Amino acid sequence: MTPRAPSDPDGSETTRRSLIVRTAATMGLVGLVGSVLATTQAFAADAKLSPSDIGYRPTPNGRSRCDVCVNWRPPDACKAVAGPISPSGWCGLFVRKD
């Protein structure tokens, strides 16, 4: 057993070796989490909902319409909904562009 330092009665002395090991472990964990997030975001970018899943309709809801939504991609696409989308359509994911 390694003797404890006199100024460290509970044995919690931080050595260079333990600091390096903890830092390396933390960096590995941060890298792993970053990889998982990047993979999840890439998958989410490719996954689109079906029009029926989110209540899409080809007519506007008052002044709310696809071509003024943040998800709109001209000429007839949506970032979140699969298939061709009418510029004057509307769905439950509508968020007005600022």
CATH number, domain at 81? 4.10.490.10
Write the pLDDT tens digit of every residue in 81-93: 999 999 999 999 9
Residues 6+ apart with CB under 8 A from 74: 67, 87
- Mean pLDDT for 74-78 is 96
Q: Which residue range(s) make up the domain with 38?
A: 18-47
Q: Say whether pLDDT at 55 is over 60.
A: yes
Establish if 8 belongs to a structural domain. no
Q: pLDDT band for position 69 (50/70/90)?
A: very high
Residues 76 and 34 in one domain: no
> Is the same domain home to 57 and 88?
yes
Confirm whether 56 is domain-assigned: yes
